[in-house]
Amino acid sequence: MAVRSTQRAAAPGGSAAPARRFQLRPGWPVLAILVLFPLWYVLGLGGFIWIILAVPLLVHLVLAKTWRVPRGFIIWIFYLVWIALSAIQISHSSNWLTYAYRTAAYAAATLAFIYLVNTDEKALPTRRIVNAFTVFWIFIVIGGFAAMAAPAFSFSTPTQKLLGHLGSNKLLIALIHPTLAQAQALGGVQAIGHAIARPAAPFAYTNWWGANFAFLVPFVILAIRQAPTRLVRVGLAGMLLVSLIPFIYSINRGAWLSLIVGGLYAWLRFAARRRGRAALVGLALLAVIAVAVFATPLGSVVQARIGHEGSTSLRLSLIQQSGQNALGSPLVGYGVPLPPPVSQYSLPNVGTQGQLWLVLVSVGIPGTVFFLLWLLYVFWCSRSLSDPVTFTVHVAILIGVIQLPFYGWMPTEMFIVMAAAALVWRSREPSAADAGLIEAPSARPLPALRA
């Protein structure tokens, strides 16, 4: 985030002092969220800043009176309508806080998408957004190393002290009382006693850490390609390599799988189009990663995690319950995830084991179809190799789709996914997207814009 200063010319006599005024740059709310995230984390606002700074985005769009969206955006609108309909199923007053939080997070992600699509490329270059994603990823890596260094560290935040006794909700406590790591026991791996530290900072849960790390890697690679100097390029490449240490120690199998599938898919696309240099670089990167993992002590962590079946059976049980509960209210869902069976109060709520199950239980089958169709629409519109930005989004969306059964997206990854999707329609290459843009109803028409 930055400010621009404008200076008025002096009066003809030269006596008038130049007047200065400071103006926030276009896109400042989105950039402030990403670039200043350590501040929000320490303040206890890491889980809320996405919603708070979406308000200026809403104000901007209201004042603009007119904006354009992709033709397929109607799919996402239908999904938002289904979220609203699901509220009729909420029966307990305690669930309204959870419902309102997630609904506000969806609204914030929607506003970020519309705002970025309608922000002029000259005023807010796409490269600046990619760089902000990269800076945010760097914070994730730093948080991972901090978690490994001090896995038991946690602290109270100003937000926690402000809320006081109101902070009794489990999700709320996790958001406002940060812990650097979570611990999980695995056979053959010892870090905290008989458990390994799973990085979580700067998020509430380690699964959020791994999911966001993997989703942003394609943008880091794009930032390396677009780096203005060799020093920046080498620095980012080095950080990408050393980031494998906390990424492996996070033992997030879903994140591992999503990144591997995304990397192989990109390599196959480049190889099929005879992009020899890009394919060779991708193959070399995969080889370096394989050697770094299996030729170092990290290999034992991978083997222990792959052979650990306890968490897998628990996850499968909860997923099965999600499917069964969804059939109980298939049309609009239940509005929120459901409590576990009476005999298993220690388990997480049913529907919190992944974004797919969260949507299925909360919004029902039609809502789930709209959610998936929107992601597939973005994936299809970004498929072209002709523009590096749109293809980066393409690969990132694939990584996100692979993560759907394993990780929740709310609120961070949902916001980032929608912000990334907006880059497809900000591209200056008309061939990068097949869908055009349509104008929202407005008192003032806008000139036509090709996609």
pLDDT in the model for residue 37: 97
Residues of the chain with pLDDT under 70: 1-23, 165-169, 184-195, 274-279, 281-286, 288-315, 341-346, 427-451
Of 384, 393, 385, 392, give the one whose Cα is nearest residue 421: 393
151 assigned to some structural domain = yes
pLDDT at 191: 42
Q: How far apart are CA 318 and CA 270, in angstroms?
A: 39
- State both tokens at 117: 């699509």
Angle at 429 between CA 423 and CA 435, to 5 degrees: 70
CA distances from 419 to 259, 393, 416, 433, 434 (A): 20, 10, 5, 16, 19
Per the structure, how many domains does the chain have?
A: 1
Report DSSP letters for 140-201, one per residue: HHHHHHHHHHSTT-B---HHHHHHGGGTTSHHHHHHHS-BSEEEEEBTTB-SBTTEEEEE-T
451, part of any domain? no
pLDDT of res. 188: 41
Residue 325 falls inside a structural domain = yes
pLDDT in the model for residue 431: 39
Candidates 393, 389, 399, 392; CA nearest to 259 is 399
Is residue 321, in this structure, part of any structural domain at all?
A: yes
pLDDT number for residue 340: 77
Give dist(CA 6, CA 72) in Å, integer.
39
Is residue 186 domain-resident? yes
| Domain carrying residue 39 | 23-439
Per-residue pLDDT at 298: 55
- 372 part of a folded domain: yes
How many other CB atoms sit within 10 Å of the CB of residue 173? 13
This prediction has a pTM of: 0.86
Residue 50 domain-assigned (yes or no): yes
d(C-alpha 334, C-alpha 88), whole Å: 8
Quick one: pLDDT at residue 383?
A: 93
